């Protein structure tokens, strides 16, 4: 789908989002949420359509308005679920050849064995990806805390208040943490604020 990036460094930038189904931290089945590693996912990634790399490239480029090519390379964001369960070199190379600015939003538990332009890690459990462009930590969490990360290994580090019934208190906690630890920046979900997908 075509929208704006609603979080992090690229907030406000138009992009095509390719959402992969499946995740290694939660099945997506609501009845299994409480016993999963990630219990707070707010994304429907269960419904899926199988597509070839060529089909994905075609679908992405068809979503872009003609004016998207006028200023800079358009952006595609591979997200999920967990994109690294399915994303492969063939698709990434095809996107880079369009050309597209290729970004990945991952939980950081799987290796990324190919070049992409931007890597955003949003951890919910200990990760193997310990550095990159952007670290977006949902806050607060029981399993993962900000002090577990070396912020010097990331270009940008964000605290994202956990959504849900405690959003106001979670936002206040994240705000206070950022004030006390200025290497972290507060991240809000613009797309939810303005009511877009």
- Residues annotated catalytic, as ranges: 17, 23, 38, 41-43, 105, 191
Report the b/e string of 149-167 with b at 16+ CB within 10 A: beeeebebbbbbbbeeeee
Placement of tokens 């200025």 in the chain: 182
Report d(CA 22, CA 17) in Å as an integer: 16
For residues 177 and 146, is the Cβ–Cβ distance under 8 A?
A: yes
* Cα-based distances in Å from 124 to 24, 47, 94, 121, 135: 11, 22, 30, 10, 12
Q: Would the CA dihedral through 12, 15, 16, 17 be positive or negative?
A: negative
134 token code pair: 């952007």
Query: What DSSP element (H or E) covers 190?
Result: helix 190-193
Query: What DSSP element (H or E) covers 105?
Result: strand 101-106
193 token code pair: 């604020």
Our measurement of the distance from residue 151's CA atom to the centroid of its chain's CA atoms, rounded to an integer in Å, reads: 18
Report d(CA 82, CA 86) in Å as an integer: 8
């Amino acid at each position: 789908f075509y929208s704006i990036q609603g979080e992090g460094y690229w907030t406000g930038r138009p992009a095509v989002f390719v959402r992969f189904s499946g995740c290694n931290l939660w099945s997506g089945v609501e009845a299994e949420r409480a016993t999963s590693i990630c219990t707070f996912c707010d994304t429907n990634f269960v419904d899926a359509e199988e597509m070839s790399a060529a089909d994905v490239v075609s679908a992405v480029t068809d979503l872009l308005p003609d004016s998207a090519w006028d200023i800079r390379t358009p952006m595609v964001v591979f997200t999920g679920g967990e994109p690294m369960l399915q994303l492969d070199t063939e698709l990434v190379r095809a996107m880079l050849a369009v050309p597209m600015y290729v970004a990945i939003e991952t939980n950081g538990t799987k290796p990324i064995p190919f070049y992409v332009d931007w890597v955003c890690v949003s951890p919910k459990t200990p990760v193997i990806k310990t550095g990159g462009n952007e670290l977006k930590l949902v806050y607060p969490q029981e399993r993962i805390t900000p002090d577990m990360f070396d912020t010097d290994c990331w270009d940008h580090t964000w605290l994202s208040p956990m959504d849900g019934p405690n959003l106001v208190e979670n936002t206040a906690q994240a705000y206070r943490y950022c004030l006390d630890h200025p290497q972290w920046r507060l991240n809000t979900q613009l797309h939810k604020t303005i009511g877009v997908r």
